[in-house]
């Protein structure tokens, strides 16, 4: 089992993140951090959590050890005093943070931390995925908090960076979404055979990750069936709440979820055991159908690596050939595990399993794979897709990739 480490002090100020209003996600100004040693003396993850309306999921940065000394940081998280103390412990043993990789173009929940994190390590060089953009104004990188004198765009040629002898990378070319492009950088740490990705791949655990159990209230909040139910902390309720959170996080409105009427919510709120602000004053709109566990099992896919439904429906189908070519490049690396920036990690997976997650981009197998997930769960995502298209905000889908025809054999 991987070793999990937290900073010795649990004072609120050690977990404080004062810039939370920039991206106001729960738990707002308090960000606990756990460090997990994934590969002994080589790879560590730093886990925090965040969400909206108690739909909380892990967010993760990864640190790899370089030879002969130093560290590379992939996709920083909130640099709270607790987080920085845990990084300093590694620096004391393995050398300073030398490189910081800003791995995504679109994910503001990742990008917002890079500038503040870089200021904590003034000796580190920052390498940025190209085609960065911001909304509503497209601002230059220094205006987004990145240090002007030590920020570099990652070149298309991965041999050009100073860590190329130990870490490979592959840029996903920008996929035009309308408002701006989607893109990310995958990195491969050769010594540990570890692949680092941001959002492209996830694995969904059946049990709640350790980091979200630091504050189990969101899990228990969503484990209830009505607003009149008490919040009871049991392992079964934590798992129940987590699985419902996963359905929320990936589908926004899964088909097995109904919404209570206003009258029902008012009546239950009057009966709620606790009507505090934390409990939304007793109001609880969610009504889960009895078959919701089957919907989760279909999403879970046995914990195998997969592309999240939102990327399938709204993003990767805008550039299937581009994405598939990138995935094939990544699959040339001989990795044994994948560490994504969300959900479960590490994922025990090889290049073949990684590439299989992108099979939905091939027209020949797309229909068969689509039947593995309940079509009704995609309804809201499809409605969002149609709305964005009708408003001219999103780009149309592109035709799925057809596999190359097998050469005919003469008889």
Percent of the chain scoring above 90 in pLDDT: 68
Stated pTM of the model? 0.89
Long-range own/partner contacts, residues 258-261 (CB < 8 A, 24 or more apart): 258/286, 258/287, 258/288, 258/289, 259/285, 259/286, 259/287, 260/226, 260/227, 260/284, 260/285, 260/286, 260/287
342 CB burial (10 A radius; 0-12, 13-18, 19+): buried
Q: Quote the mean pLDDT of the chain.
A: 88
Q: State the sign of the Cα–Cα–Cα–Cα dihedral 300, 315, 289, 261.
A: positive
Does residue 120 have a pLDDT over 90? yes
Does residue 100 have a pLDDT over 80? yes
| Predicted local confidence at residue 8, as pLDDT | 54
| Predicted local confidence at residue 177, as pLDDT | 80
What distance in Å separates the CA atoms of residue 6 and residue 9, rounded to the nearest whole number?
A: 8
| Predicted local confidence at residue 180, as pLDDT | 80
- Which one of 3.60.15.10, 1.10.10.10, 3.40.50.180, 3.40.50.300 gives the CATH number of domain 3-203+305-359? 3.60.15.10
Q: Is there a contact between 77 and 120 (Cβ–Cβ < 8 Å)? A: no
| Predicted local confidence at residue 405, as pLDDT | 43
Does residue 53 have a pLDDT over 70? yes
Q: Is there a contact between 127 and 161 (Cβ–Cβ < 8 Å)? A: yes
Q: Is 255 helix (H, G, I), strand (E, B) or coil?
A: coil
| Predicted local confidence at residue 410, as pLDDT | 41
DSSP, res 147: -
CA angle 304, 308, 312 (to 5 degrees): 120
| Predicted local confidence at residue 132, as pLDDT | 85
Mean pLDDT score, 66-77: 97
Annotated domain spans of the chain: 3-203+305-359, 215-302
pLDDT in tens, 197-235: 999 999 999 999 999 999 999 999 999 999 999 999 999
pLDDT in tens, 352-385: 999 999 998 986 455 444 445 667 766 766 666 6
**In Å, how far from its chain's centre is CA 210?**
16
Does residue 34 have a pLDDT over 70? yes
What distance in Å separates the CA atoms of residue 272 and residue 291, rounded to the nearest whole number?
A: 25
Q: Which residue has the higher pLDDT, 165 or 405?
A: 165
| Predicted local confidence at residue 411, as pLDDT | 35
| Predicted local confidence at residue 406, as pLDDT | 42
């Amino acid at each position: 089992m991987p070793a999990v480490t937290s900073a010795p002090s649990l004072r609120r100020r050690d977990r404080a993140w004062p810039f939370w209003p920039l991206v106001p996600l729960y738990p707002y100004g308090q960000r606990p951090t756990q460090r997990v040693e994934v590969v002994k003396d080589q790879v560590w993850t730093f886990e925090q959590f965040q969400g909206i309306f108690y739909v909380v999921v892990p967010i993760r940065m990864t640190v790899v050890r370089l030879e002969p000394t130093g560290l590379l940081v992939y996709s920083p998280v909130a640099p709270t005093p607790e987080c920085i103390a845990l990084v300093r412990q590694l620096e004391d043993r393995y050398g300073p943070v030398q490189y910081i990789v800003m791995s995504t173009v679109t994910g503001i929940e990742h990008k917002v931390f890079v500038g503040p994190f870089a200021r904590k390590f003034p000796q580190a060089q920052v390498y940025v995925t190209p085609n960065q953009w911001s909304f509503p104004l497209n601002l230059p990188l220094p205006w987004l908090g990145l240090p002007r004198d030590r920020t570099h765009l990652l070149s298309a040629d991965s041999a050009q960076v100073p860590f190329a002898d130990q870490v490979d990378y592959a840029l996903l070319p920008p996929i035009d979404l309308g408002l701006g492009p989607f893109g990310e950088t995958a990195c491969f740490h050769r010594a540990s055979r570890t692949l680092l990705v941001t959002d492209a791949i996830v694995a969904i655990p059946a049990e709640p990750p350790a980091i979200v159990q630091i504050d189990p209230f969101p899990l228990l909040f969503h484990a209830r069936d009505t607003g009149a139910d008490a919040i009871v902390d049991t392992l079964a309720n934590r798992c129940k709440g987590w699985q419902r959170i996963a359905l929320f996080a990936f589908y926004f409105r899964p088909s097995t979820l109904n919404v209570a009427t206003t009258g029902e919510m008012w009546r239950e709120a009057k009966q709620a055991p606790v009507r505090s602000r934390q409990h939304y004053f007793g109001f609880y709109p969610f009504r889960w159908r009895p078959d919701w566990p089957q919907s989760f099992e279909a999403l879970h896919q046995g914990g195998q690596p997969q592309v999240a439904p939102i990327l399938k429906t709204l993003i990767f189908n805008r550039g299937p050939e581009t994405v598939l070519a990138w995935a094939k490049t990544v699959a040339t690396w001989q990795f044994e595990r994948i560490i994504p920036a969300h959900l479960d990690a590490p994922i025990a997976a090889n290049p073949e399993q990684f590439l299989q997650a992108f099979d939905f981009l091939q027209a020949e197998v797309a229909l068969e794979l689509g039947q593995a997930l309940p079509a009704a769960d995609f309804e809201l995502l499809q409605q969002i897709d149609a709305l964005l298209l009708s408003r001219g905000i999103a780009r149309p889908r592109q035709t799925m990739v057809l596999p190359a025809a097998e050469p005919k054999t003469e008889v």
